[in-house]
Amino acid sequence: AQSVSQHNHHVILSEAASLELGCNYSYGGTVNLFWYVQYPGQHLQLLLKYFSGDPLVKGIKGFEAEFIKSKFSFNLRKPSVQWSDTAEYFCAVKGDDKIIFGKGTRLHILP
């Protein structure tokens, strides 16, 4: 069965700082990997996804993630965060039909 582990539960950064959120997964077969964002009071939105091809995936709002198969990792990065990036970020993996989410990382950006 697939599983997802996010290492950082709560991250606080100042504006313009660089961001990297860790995500590791386990699954024996071909995976699809995702990062979702949930802004306060809003629903889940897809930031980016990987299912094949270039392991460096670029998403919306300047986010990117790199799939490293040997490390079973799919870390999310952004070179310079903004106050509006304050949200909860979920890494997710889809092996069979359903999506399994990580526990989430709450990101707080100080203005």
Partner 1 sequence: EPEVTQTPSHQVTQMGQEVILRCVPISNHLYFYWYRQILGQKVEFLVSFYNNEISEKSEIFDDQFSVERPDGSNFTLKIRSTKLEDSAMYFCASRSTLDQGQGAKGYTFGSGTRLTVV
Residues forming contacts to partner 1 in the complex (CB under 8 A) are 30, 32, 34, 42-46, 49, 51-52, 90, 92, 94, 96-104
Q: 2 vs 73, which CB is nearer to partner 1? A: 2
Q: Which two tokens stand for residue 68?
A: 């490293």
Q: Residue 23 class from Cβ within 10 Å (0-12 exposed, 13-18 middle, 19+ buried)?
A: buried
| Shortest distance in whole angstroms from residue 92 CB to partner 1 | 8
| Shortest distance in whole angstroms from residue 94 CB to partner 1 | 6
Separation in Å, CA 45 to CA 14, 40, 71, 102: 23, 12, 26, 15
Residues 106 and 38 sit within 8 Å (Cβ to Cβ): no
Q: 20 vs 96, which CB is nearer to partner 1? A: 96
Q: 64 vs 88, which CB is nearer to partner 1? A: 88
| Shortest distance in whole angstroms from residue 85 CB to partner 1 | 20
